[in-house]
């Protein structure tokens, strides 16, 4: 299992709708509005790195009102 945090920037005033929309996507464990340089942080889980990439590219980045995403893969040191 591969997990990552997706840091999401949205259009002004759209973080709530983006957070709710992302939360409903397959593979999303949590999606929350936050303050700071990002508007929403989602935690996602997938069976492989390839599947994680497909989740980010084909699902999350297609959500309306998202302007930028940054993916931070969870590592266990």
Please report the pLDDT score of residue 56 as a whole number: 82
Please report the pLDDT score of residue 23 as a whole number: 97
The domain that holds 61 is classified in CATH as: 3.30.70.920
Please report the pLDDT score of residue 3 as a whole number: 96
> In total, how many domains does the chain have?
1
Beta strand extents in the chain (DSSP E only):
2-10, 28-33, 40-46, 66-73
Q: In 3-state terms, what secondary structure has residue 13?
A: coil
pLDDT in tens, 2-16: 999 999 999 999 999
* Domain housing 60: 2-73
Q: Are 18 and 65 in contact (CB under 8 A)?
A: yes
């Amino acid at each position: 299992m591969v997990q990552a945090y997706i840091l999401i920037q949205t259009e002004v005033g759209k973080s709530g709708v983006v957070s709710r929309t992302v939360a409903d996507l397959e593979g999303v464990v949590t999606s929350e509005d936050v303050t700071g340089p990002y508007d929403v942080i989602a935690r996602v889980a997938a069976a492989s790195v390839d599947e994680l990439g497909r989740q980010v590219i084909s699902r999350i980045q297609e959500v309306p009102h998202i302007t930028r995403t940054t993916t931070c893969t969870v590592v266990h040191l």
